[in-house]
Amino acid sequence: MTHSDSVTIRELTDEESRELLARNHVGRIAFSFTLQHNQWVAFEVDEVEGPFDWNSVVAHGSFYRLSDESMPHYRELREEALRYIRSFSPATLRKTDPVPDRTEVFAIAIDRITGRAASTTTND
């Protein structure tokens, strides 16, 4: 960044935020206390091209384990989620899983999505 550059930070539209979430397979989940007592979570995804050129989205909502066998709808969602995950990580929850301690499939019922973007502009 030179002295003639400046940084602009703006809110992403809902459409831009959802597109960023759809493009990415990796993010961070945050929660407080334990998920058994407080199902509110935040899931964040970033796309970073540089320290002043980035997009970031946070999806806020409720966490649901998709392992409850008494809920037929959860079984269907679990199978759908596994098909999607296995499209880019085929060994997920199989004997050859590169993360052998992985045991859960979960979903987030999104209540709110927020997003921001930063970009540099040249002031000539």
Residue 30 belongs to domain spanning: 5-116
Condensed to tens digits (0 to 9), the pLDDT of residues 47-102 reads: 999 999 999 999 999 988 887 666 778 888 899 999 999 999 999 999 999 998 98
Residue 34 confidence (pLDDT):
80
What mean pLDDT comes out for the span 3-17? 90
What is the per-residue DSSP string for the chain? --TTEEEEEEEPPHHHHHHHHHH-S--EEEE-S-TTT--EEEEEEEEEEETTEEEEEEEEEEEEETT-TT-HHHHHHHHHHHHHHHTT-TTTTSTT-SSTT----EEEEEEEEEEEEEEEEE--
In a domain, 122, yes or no: no
In a domain, 58, yes or no: yes
CATH code of the domain covering residue 85: 2.30.110.10
